[in-house]
């Protein structure tokens, strides 16, 4: 189950997340981003490096989104 969520209309398509993804699970075009669910292991590295806080890790137990910033 994919736990990474892409907040709509916030991505800048910079590729930082793609660079750290160990599974080649992110598809990034000029103005389109998507996560390939079959490859993603929910490691959350992409979430942590995103400069614009576009990606969110949704913990499975709790339905609510966990904010990166504490």
Partner 1 sequence: MKERYDVVVVGAGPAGSTCARFAAARGASVLVLEKDRDVGMPVRCGEAVSNRSLEKIVDIDPRWIAATIKRFRLISPSGHVVEPDLGGYGYVLERRIFDYDLARLAVEAGAELHTKSYVDGLLPRNPEPGTTTDMSSEEKETSSAAKDRSDDSSGWRGVSLQWKGEPRTVEARIIVGADGVESRVGKWAGIDTTTHMRDMETCAQMTLSNVDLEEDACEFYFGNDTAPMGYLWVFPKGRGMANVGVGISGMASKQKAAIRYLQEFVERRYPGAGVLTTVAGGVPCATTVDTLVKGNIVLVGDAAHQVNPMSGGGITSGMIGGKLAGEAIARALEKNDLSLLNEYPKQWRKEVGAKHDTYYRMKAAVYKFPDETLDDIAVNVLKLREDKRTIWGVFKTALRHQPALVWEMMKTFGLRPSA
Give the footprint of ligand SF4 on this chain (CB under 6 A).
Answer: 4, 11-17, 21, 23, 25-26, 28, 33, 35, 40-46, 50, 52, 54-55
CB nearer to partner 1: give 15 or 37: 15
> Which of the residues 10 through 69 are near partner 1 (CB under 8 A)?
12, 14-22, 24, 27-30, 45, 48-53, 68-69
Q: How many CA atoms lie within 13 A of 13 on its CB side?
A: 8
- Residue 54 CB, nearest distance to ligand SF4 (Å)? 4
Contact 3, 64 (CB under 8 A): no
Q: Which does 56 bind (CB under 5 to 8 A by kind): ligand SF4, partner 1, none?
A: none
Contact status, residue 11 vs residue 5, Cβ threshold 8 Å: no
What does the DSSP 8-state code read for residue 56?
A: E
CB 18 within 8 Å of CB 28: yes
């Amino acid at each position: 189950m994919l736990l990474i969520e892409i907040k709509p209309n916030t991505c800048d398509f910079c590729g930082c997340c793609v660079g750290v993804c160990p599974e080649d699970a992110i598809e990034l075009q000029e103005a389109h981003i998507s996560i390939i669910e079959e490859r993603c292991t929910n490691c959350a590295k992409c979430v942590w490096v995103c400069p614009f806080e576009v990606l969110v890790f949704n913990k499975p137990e709790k339905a609510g989104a966990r904010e990166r910033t504490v």
